[in-house]
Amino acid sequence: MPLFEYTGLDNHGRKVSGRIDGPGPGPVRQQLREKGIFPTGLHESSLAGARRGWLDLRSLLHRCSTAELASATRQLATLLVAGLSLDTALGSVAEQADQSMIGQVLANVREEVMQGNSLHEALARHRAVFPDLFINMVQVGENSGTLDTALLRLADFLEGQDRTRARIQAALAYPVLMTLVGSTVLVFLFVFVVPKITRMLLEMKMALPWPTLLLINLVDLLVAWWWLLLLGLVLGFTGLRRYWRTEAGRMRIDRMLLKAPVFGRLLLLIATTRFARTLGTLLQSGVPLLKALDIARNLLTNRVLRRAVETARLRVQEGGSLAGVLRETAVFPSMLVQLTAAGEQSGKLEEMLFRVADTYEHQTDLSISGMLSLLEPLMILFMGVVVGFAVLAILLPIFQASQGFG
């Protein structure tokens, strides 16, 4: 509960002061009167503000996962559907997740709700944990009296986002593991094994074939100038990162990513799926189209797509058609444009957006599977070529020496 500092008079008319916990100013005044103290001044303690500020700082440093937020949201919705009051439901969910960040944040949210603030206002104080989409859907649910329904839709949306992220991470786990193992093997081979063998070959003072000479020069280069190569990589990465942080650089890089041969299509599918599902969820919950477009735009990381959605929002605000503007931007897939037009004509825009999201989510899974089926043999082939070249470069002089002795 919040901590309050008070000043007042006791039953003998003497001035008293102190601190007391309470759900809000009204209940605290009543508690003081029951103790025989008549408050003349009452305000929330700065210690409580510092404690809330520390909680906000921890929220920034340790953001809760989408799975945790989805689980807490579904629990809260279930308790509200069962007929519990909002503060009781918040307290129950916070108590179950007491050791996690989401539990501490919900406990703080409950205190603010008990002080008379609305739920969406209390959530807005913790934007590091609750995104704008979450806050706006809760606000619409409170205004329409359907908070439990809004929370259930939010839980479905967050769980879908978490499943998509889990599928992508699971699909990339094997290539990442192969990359790490392969890199470790190659580093061990070129740092510890090859130098000893090449030194032995040089001591034999025989004419070496060009693959062996190339391998020896390559190893000498890596051993002597590894720090320069590392410095070049660091400087290149730093320069690229600074360029990426500029508006022009970010736009150019994002445009190049969308046009990349293999990854560009996959990135577009993932972004379109997220945009369509987010926009459909917001519209289904009663969020106005302009506000929904603004929230969905902020969830896109690609600047080219964000600018296209911002242009669409401005044109819709002027009275234009969403499908027409998306067609003019020429960055989103044609299915999104066509089904958006059908949804606007039939009045079922959110339903059509969900169809787009489901279709592209399926295509995303197929694209990831196809990319990985191509990536795995390419990685094996690359490692085989590198190791095979090293083995060939080592064995050729040995074969020549054995033929000479023969």
Are 27 and 109 within one domain?
A: no
- Distances from the Cα of 394 to the Cα of 4, 92, 203, 404, angstroms: 79, 69, 14, 16
- Domain assignment present for residue 348? The answer is yes
Sheet with 15-21: list strands edge to edge: 15-21, 3-9, 38-44
Total residue count of the chain as it appears in this document = 406
- Quote the DSSP letter at residue 190: I
Which of 222-226, 240-244, 381-385 has the weakest average pLDDT? 222-226
50 inside domain: no
SS3 340: helix
State which of 19-23, 216-220, 324-328, 370-374 shows the largest mean pLDDT. 324-328
Q: What is the pLDDT of residue 99?
A: 61
If you average pLDDT over residues 72-101, what whole number do you get?
A: 85
Burial (CB count <10 Å: 0-12, 13-18, 19+), residue 15: exposed
The CATH number for 267's domain is: 1.20.81.30
The pLDDT value recorded for residue 22 is 66
Residue 234 is predicted with a pLDDT of: 93
Q: At 162, which helix (H) or strand (E)?
A: helix 147-188
- What band does 23 get if pLDDT is binned at 50, 70 and 90? low
Q: Indicate if 123 and 37 belong to the same structural domain.
A: no
Residues 6+ away with beta carbon under 8 Å from 16: 7, 8, 9, 10, 37
Q: What's the pLDDT band for 353 if we cut at 50, 70, 90?
A: very high
pLDDT at 57: 46
Predicted confidence (pLDDT) at residue 405 exceeds the cutoff of 60: no
> Does 342 or 403 have the greater pLDDT score?
342
Asked if the model's pLDDT at residue 81 lies above 50, the reply is yes
Same domain, 23 and 159: no
Q: For the full predicted model, state whether its pTM sits above 0.75.
A: no
User: How much is the average pLDDT of 10-32?
Assistant: 72
137-175 as b/e, with b when 16 or more CB fall inside 10 Å?
bbbbbbeeeebbbbbbbbbebbbbbbebeeeeeeeeeee
Long-range contact pairs involving 386-394 (C-beta distance under 8 Å, separation at least 24): 386/186, 387/185, 387/186, 387/189, 389/211, 389/215, 390/189, 390/190, 390/194, 390/215, 392/211, 393/209, 393/211, 393/212, 393/214, 393/215, 394/194, 394/197, 394/198, 394/201, 394/212, 394/215
Please write the tens of the pLDDT for every residue from 227-238: 888 899 999 999
Distance CA 370, CA 164 (A): 17
- 360, 389: one domain: yes
Residue from 119, 149, 137 nearest 296 by CA: 137
Tell me what the mean pLDDT of segment 210-214 comes to.
83
Residues 222 and 156 in one domain: yes
- Domain of residue 274 covers 131-406
* pLDDT recorded at residue 355: 92
Residues 41-57, mean pLDDT to the nearest whole number: 53
Residues 85 and 151 in one domain: no
Mean pLDDT of all residues in 144-164: 85
Strand 3-9 relative to strand 15-21, pairing:
antiparallel
324 with 175, same domain? yes
Q: Does residue 49 form part of some domain?
A: no
Residue 54 falls inside a structural domain: no
Contact (Cβ atoms closer than 8 angstroms) between residue 269 and residue 360: yes
Q: What is the pLDDT of residues 259-313, one digit of tens each?
A: 888 788 888 998 898 899 888 888 888 888 888 898 888 888 888 998 999 998 8
Q: Is the pLDDT of residue 62 over 80?
A: no
Instruction: Flag whether pLDDT at 199 surpasses 80.
Output: no
* Range in 193-197, 303-307, 355-359 the model is least confident about: 193-197
Q: What's the number of domains the chain is made of?
A: 3
Domain final residue pick, 130, 163, 184: 130
The answer to whether residues 191 and 257 belong to one domain is yes
For the segment 206-216, the average pLDDT, to the nearest whole number, is: 80
Give me the percent of the chain exceeding a pLDDT of 90.
7
Structure tokens at 82: 């069962």
Range picked from 71-85, 133-147, 173-187, 367-381 for highest mean pLDDT: 71-85
Residue 55 has a pLDDT of: 47
Give the residue, 310 or 101, on which the prediction is more confident: 310
In the predicted model, what is the mean pLDDT of the chain?
A: 81
Q: Which residue, among 127, 108, 104, has the nearest Cα to 117 in the 3D structure?
A: 108
Judge if 185 and 218 occupy the same domain: yes
What is the average per-residue pLDDT within 176-205? 77
Distance CA 229, CA 236 (A): 10
Contact 38, 47 (CB under 8 A): no
Do 30 and 141 belong together in one domain?
A: no
Nearest to 47 by CA among 55, 58, 38, 39: 55
Is the confidence at residue 163, as pLDDT, over 70?
Answer: yes
Span 234-254, average pLDDT: 88
Report the alpha-carbon distance of residue 373 to residue 377 in Å, rounded.
Answer: 7
Do residue 243 and residue 257 come from a single domain? Answer: yes
What is residue 61's predicted lDDT score, i.e. its pLDDT? 41
- Predicted local distance difference test score (pLDDT) of residue 3: 59
Question: Which tokens in the block code for residue 197?
Answer: 């063998």
Rounded distance between C-alpha atoms, residue 105 and residue 100, angstroms: 9
pLDDT surpasses 70 at 111: yes
**251 occurs within a structural domain:** yes
Residue 221 pLDDT level (bands cut at 50, 70, 90): confident
Q: Which residue has the higher pLDDT, 357 or 201?
A: 357
| 90-104, 270-284, 328-342: segment of lowest average pLDDT | 90-104
